[in-house]
Structure 1
Amino acid sequence: MSVTGLLVVLAVLVLATAAGLVMRARAGRLRTGGGAAGGWALAGLAPATDEQVLLLQLSSPICAPCRQTAAVLGELTDRSQGIVHREIDVADQPDVARELGVMRTPTVVAFDRAGAELLRVSGVPRAAELELALAPALGLA
């Protein structure tokens, strides 16, 4: 292998490692300030009187972290009143992912009762952080 070829391989390895570290650091981190709206309609739902927050999970069929995310959100909805969890397969409904600007799965977008975005998480969310961030929308803060 030539010196140039070796340098190219090393550069690719360094860039791939850096990209992986950035993705790992961002995974599971809550982000607020998104401007998406109409979350309940995108999920094909209307909020019932006791439903305050929709957790819309965008998943894909071969995504292992998507199953972990579904379990975390299922446990959260089981122990918290006012939260609804709906999972959408982006392979079946790519228009929802496009509408929300979702580029990877799993991504969870939380919407308030009016359908406005509260927060989003790419990767597996941390249940305690999610509960704390949703408390104001649930009237618990």
Structure 2
Amino acid sequence: MDLAGVAAAVGALAAASAFGLWRKRSDGTVRDESATAERLSAADLGIDLDPRATLVQFSSKVCRYCGPTRRVLTELADQHTVAYLDIDAEEHLDLARRLTVLRTPTVLLLDGTGRITHRVSGPPRRAELAAAVSALASLHQ
């Protein structure tokens, strides 16, 4: 292999490593989306919105982390007495595209009006998501 080939291989390895580190740090982070104006309605979701908060999970059949995420969200929904909905992203492709769901699981936390307040790409960090759900649900007690 000549010097240019070695440099290209080293560059590709560095780029892949940087992406891996970024992904590991950002995966599951609960991001504040309250600045966005995106809202979901009962018609979008097929269920009535909870007046306190609604957890929405986008899943797929081949998703490795969707089952564990479903268990976490079910527990959080029960603990905070809020609604939870699991949506198959493949069956609701238009909605997934509209919301820029690029991977599963993707979790959205909605307020009582359907406004997206938080988003998680990948398996959520439980403590972060629990804090966000608690804060939102306590606003409407």
What amino acid is the match of 1:29?
A: T
**TM-score normalised to the size of structure 2?**
0.86
What amino acid is the match of 1:104?
A: R
Summarize the Cα distance change of 1:28–1:108 in structure 2 as closer, same or farther, 3 Å threshold: same
Q: Cα deviation per residue 1:81-122 (whole Å; 9 max; x = unaligned)? A: 1x1111111111111111112222211011111111111111
Q: CA deviation at 1:9?
A: 1.4
Decide which of 24, 30, 37 is 2:39's aligned counterpart: 37
Q: Aligned to 1:138, what secondary structure does the other structure show? A: helix
**TM-score normalised to the size of structure 1?**
0.86
CA contact (8 A) 1:39 1:56 kept: no
Q: Aligned to 1:129, what secondary structure does the other structure show? A: helix
> For residue 125 of structure 1, what is the aligned residue in structure 2?
124
CA contact (8 A) 1:39 1:117 kept: no
> For residue 104 of structure 2, what is the aligned residue in structure 1?
105
Q: CA deviation at 1:73?
A: 0.6
- 2-side partners of 1:56 and 1:116: how far apart? 12
> For residue 25 of structure 2, what is the aligned residue in structure 1?
25
- 1-side partners of 2:97 and 2:7: how far apart? 38
Summarize the Cα distance change of 1:139–1:127 in structure 2 as closer, same or farther, 3 Å threshold: same
- 1-side partners of 2:135 and 2:43: how far apart? 22
Q: CA deviation at 1:27?
A: 0.9
- 1-side partners of 2:12 and 2:72: how far apart? 35
Greater displacement, 28-37 / 38-47 = 38-47
> For residue 134 of structure 1, what is the aligned residue in structure 2?
133
Give structure 2 stretches of 5+ with no counterpart.
none
Give structure 1 stretches of 5+ with no counterpart.
none
> For residue 47 of structure 1, what is the aligned residue in structure 2?
49
> For residue 78 of structure 1, what is the aligned residue in structure 2?
78
- 2-side partners of 1:19 and 1:35: how far apart? 30
CA RMSD of aligned residues (A): 1.9
